[in-house]
Amino acid sequence: MRALETTASRAAAWGGVIQTYAAYLPVTDATPVITLNEGNTPLIKADNFVRAIGGEFDLYLKYEGLNPTCSFKDRGMTLALSKALERGAKVVICASTGNTSASAAAYAARAGMKCVVILPNGKIAMGKLAQALMHGATTIAVEGNFDAALRIVRELGETAEIEVVNSINPVRIEGQKTAAFEICDVLGRAPDFHFLPVGNAGNITAYWRGFREYHAAGRTDRLPRMFGFQAAGAAPLVDGHPVSDPQTVATAIRIGNPASWQGAMDAASASRGHIGKVTDEEILSAHRSIARHEGVFIEPACGAPLAGLIRCVRDGLIPQGSVVTATMTGHGLKDPDAAIQSAGCQPVVVQANTAAVMKVIGL
Ligand code: F0G
């Protein structure tokens, strides 16, 4: 009972990741904290899914879709906007497949700063585009992919007035590592395996850093093996070279030349992990499966690590009794078009009477 009360009061007082993990972050008392009380996302045990895929281990989903802008990006963005404001920048800019721009737009609105986002035209999920527009970001869609948009951001560069808030900004990675801290705090240990989707590769770099820092600080007694998954049509890390025309239904990870390439490779090799690729069919199947079996609604990119986990179980790589965590990076409502496609069905339209409804129910 006492443990429950402690948890409840902690949640009620939750002031965001900077307040909670300041000792591990590059902030001082002088840093103005721009927060939407991000973080503290649930770790959901997914027994039904594990049973369905024939595993015998504990799987926990770190459901990052429950952050304020419905993706993990808020962890890095609270720090990026706070540091930008601290040094007196006026404008933040980013390239994005959608979630970074949504988060940057929201935190910039809160900070009273101007936000400019550069997106691949026509390849942004509807919810994410709505967020950038709604928060008042100057929204520019280029005739090209994410890699082209990031190249433009790099060329524009950082000035006294402009702060780049892509994960090439090191404070973004610092903020994102707090998700690994939360996993260890809730489990009371580090997992044996951690699975996550990989696009620009900032998040796998951040998690690995977080797990290592907690281990070095004596907060955990082990390090997880890091398993990252890319979409087969956008898998430069697996193929070993940049992909000039990346393609996947998981638009969040439609990236051909990841900025944190080395960080991802280091995480996989130092942890005895793996970077793999899965097909769009496998991604959509996992996307649907986790919604049907667990009631957890994710965006397609999160289907990649689940599909990867299915392969690992099939290959006998996850020992019985392991503790496995997987980051569900974004909420399913971000991409309703993909969800309706993935569901593979439509509402049944009937006359407005009880008999017609009963017939559909099959009673
Ligand atoms: N999952 C989601 C939902 C994402 O939005 C992203 C990246 C990733 C996974 C991959 O993370 O890039 O750190 O390897 N989205 C970026 C964006 C690129 O612009 O929103 P990563």
Reported as a single tens digit per residue, the pLDDT across 34-69 is 999 999 999 999 999 999 999 999 999 999 999 999
Element (H, E) at 266: helix 261-270
33 neighbors 19 (Cβ within 8 angstroms):
yes
What local confidence, expressed as pLDDT, does residue 250 receive?
98
Give residue 157's region: left, alpha or beta (phi > 0; psi -120 to 50).
Answer: left
Return the sign of the alpha-carbon dihedral for residues 108, 109, 115, 119.
positive
Element (H, E) at 144: none
Across the chain, the runs of DSSP E, i.e. the strands, are 43-45, 58-63, 91-95, 114-120, 138-142, 162-164, 193-197, 225-231, 274-278, 323-328
Residue 69, classed as helix, strand or coil, is coil
SS3 content of the chain, % helix, strand, coil (to 5): 50, 15, 35
Comparing CA positions, the residue from 188, 228, 223, 214 lying closest to residue 329 is: 228
**Interhelix angle for 202-216 vs 261-270, to 10°?**
50
249 lines ligand 1 (CB under 6 A): no
In order along its 363 residues, the chain shows pLDDT tens digits of 445 555 556 556 899 999 999 999 999 999 999 999 999 999 999 999 999 999 999 999 999 999 999 999 999 999 999 999 999 999 999 999 999 999 999 999 999 999 999 999 999 999 999 999 999 999 999 999 999 999 999 999 889 999 999 999 999 999 999 999 999 999 999 999 999 999 999 999 999 999 999 999 999 999 999 999 999 999 999 999 999 999 999 999 999 999 999 999 999 999 999 999 999 999 999 999 999 999 999 999 999 999 999 999 999 999 999 999 999 999 999 999 999 999 999 999 999 999 999 999 997
| Owner of token pair 């790589």 | 317
Q: In angstroms, what is the span from residue 354 Cα to ligand 1's centroid?
A: 46
What local confidence, expressed as pLDDT, does residue 1 receive?
42
pTM over 0.85: yes
CB atoms within 10 A of CB 81: 30
| Owner of token pair 């998040």 | 203
What local confidence, expressed as pLDDT, does residue 7 receive?
56
Which of 129, 164, 203, 254, when mutated, tests ligand 1's pocket best, judged by the most ligand atoms within 8 Å of its CB? 203
What local confidence, expressed as pLDDT, does residue 157 receive?
86
Q: Bridge-partner residues for 59, per DSSP?
A: 324
97 lines ligand 1 (CB under 6 A): yes
The protein residue whose alpha carbon is closest to atom 15 in ligand 1 is 252
What local confidence, expressed as pLDDT, does residue 249 receive?
97
Ligand 1 atom with the shortest distance to the CA of 198: 14
251 lines ligand 1 (CB under 6 A): no
